[in-house]
Amino acid sequence: MAVAARSLTSALVLLAAAGPAFALTDEIQVYTGDIAAPGVFNLTLHNNYTPSGLRMPDFPGGLADNHSYSGVAEWAYGVTPWFEAGLYMPLYAISSNHGGGLNGWKLRALFVNPDNASSDFYYGVNFEFSVNARHWDEERYTGEVRPIIGYRFGRMSLTVNPILDNSYKGFAALDFAPATRLDYALTKQWAVALEEYDDFGELRGFLPADRQSHQLFLVADYSGPVSVEGGIGFGLTPATDHLTLKLILASDLNGPDGLFSL
């Protein structure tokens, strides 16, 4: 009986290792081409909790999503009207199977059209380079290429981020994980939105539909000295966490409206 139990456990671990890697994430956000003004430091705190999610880790030694919390402090600096540099540190998680721990760090470079704030059509591209703890990702070094394409029509706007996740194994191994946001401005400070986060798998061959990750979020935004974005996400496939909560807090640290401005 003990041998059979060990064999079953080993088989489940191998099955999880062979499956798609839809692990906990530090950042659940669609990039809309907004950046900090030149000379302004910005701090964004990402917080995510999965009250009902996948119970098996995505790979041996990885974190289980169910009943786990993850987050990161994102530090950004406006270098020019079209370039923002960012540092994510610390990345952290409290998981149901691993406890608390640090998950690594990452750098980003965001390039946008400097007229995005006043243009109906807005665009840009974001690049990220990550150094991962072993329990956070199977790959020590990963990256992201995130194009930003959006259009405003009246009080509504549609933004698409056709993201390619990079594990540095060649073009065909790039993972297609797009994010989409449709929002409506209720007032100058309040907006509501629908967001969808997908992962189809590698470009060389998308996964079967039931093994892809698709999650739909209902989101509310408040813009002020401290901006707040809250959302609740619902999994649309068996390979997706059933229920995810997110809370994003952001503020400039200096500049005209900064927390520490004199």
SS (H, E, C) 107-161: EEEEEECCCHHHCCEEEEEEEEEEEECCCCCCCCEEEEEEEEEEEEECCEEEEEE
Per-residue pLDDT of the chain in tens (262 residues, 90 and over written 9): 444 334 433 433 333 333 444 568 999 999 999 999 999 999 999 999 999 999 999 899 999 999 999 999 999 999 999 999 999 999 999 999 999 999 999 999 999 999 999 999 999 999 999 999 999 999 999 999 999 999 999 999 999 999 999 999 999 999 999 999 999 999 999 999 999 999 999 999 999 999 999 999 999 999 999 999 999 999 999 999 999 999 999 999 998 877 776 5
The torsion angle over the Cα atoms of residues 70, 103, 28 and 175, rounded to 10 degrees, is -140
Domains contained in the chain, CATH given: 2-252 (2.40.160.40)
Strands 164-166 and 175-176, bridge-based pairing? antiparallel
Query: Dihedral sign, CA of 111, 113, 117, 120?
Result: negative
Place of tokens 């500049």: 255
pLDDT for residue 22: 56
pLDDT for residue 202: 97
Q: How many CB atoms lie within 10 A of CB 4?
A: 8
Query: In sequence order, what DSSP letters do the residues of 2-21 get, joined into one string?
Result: HHHHHHHHHHHHHHHHHS--
The pTM for the full model equals 0.89
pLDDT for residue 258: 79
pLDDT for residue 10: 40
> CB–CB of 223/189 below 8 Å?
yes
Taking only the tens place, the pLDDT of each residue in 27-63 is: 999 999 999 999 999 999 999 999 999 999 989 999 9
Query: Dihedral sign, CA of 48, 52, 53, 54?
Result: positive
Kindly state the DSSP code that residue 177 receives in the 8-state scheme: -
CA 170 vs CA 33, 73, 79, 164, 166: distances in Å? 28, 30, 31, 12, 8
